[in-house]
Amino acid sequence: MGTDDAEGFVGDGEGPRRVVRCADYAISPRAVSNAEFARFVEATGYRTEAERAGWSFVFAGMLSEADRKKFTRVVADIPWWRRVDGATWSAPEGPGSTVGHRLDHPVVHVSWNDAAAYCRWSHTRLPTEAEWEFAARGGLDGRRYAWGDELTPGGEHRCNIWQGRFPDHDTMDDGYAGTAPVDAFEPNGYGLYNVCGNVWEWCVDWFSPNYHLVTRAIDPVYLVPTGSRAMRGGSFLCHRSYCNRYRVAARSHNTPDSSTSHTGFRVVAVNMK
Q: Are 211 and 193 in contact (CB under 8 A)?
A: no
CA-based nearest residue to 242, from 156, 178, 166, 149: 166
Give domain status of residue 3, yes or no: no
Report if residue 5 sits inside a domain. no
Evaluate whether 19 touches 2 at the Cβ level (below 8 Å).
no
Contacts of 70 (CB under 8 A, 6+ apart): none
205 inside domain: yes
List of long-range contacts for 39-42, beta carbons under 8 Å, 24+ apart: 40/118, 40/121, 40/122
Structural domain total, the chain = 1
Question: Rg (Cα) of the chain, in Å, rounded?
Answer: 18
**Does some domain include residue 203?**
yes
What global pTM score does this model have?
0.97
The beta-carbon contacts of 212-218 under 8 Å, at least 24 apart in sequence, are 212/1, 212/2, 212/13, 212/14, 212/15, 212/16, 212/18, 213/13, 215/130, 217/18, 217/19, 217/20, 217/21, 218/20, 218/21
**Local structure of 82: helix, strand or coil:** strand
Q: Coil, strand, or helix at residue 57?
A: strand
pLDDT for residue 75:
82
Domain CATH code at residue 128: 3.90.1580.10
- For residue range 27-65, list pLDDT tens digits in order: 999 999 999 999 999 999 999 999 999 999 999 999 989
Do residues 62 and 96 touch, judged by C-beta distance below 8 A? no
Look at residue 9 and tell me if it is in a domain: no
Residues of the chain with pLDDT under 50: none
Flag whether 255 is in a domain: yes
Within a domain: 246: yes
Domain that residue 55 falls in? 29-269
How does strand 200-206 pair with strand 229-232? antiparallel
CA distance 162 to 178: 9
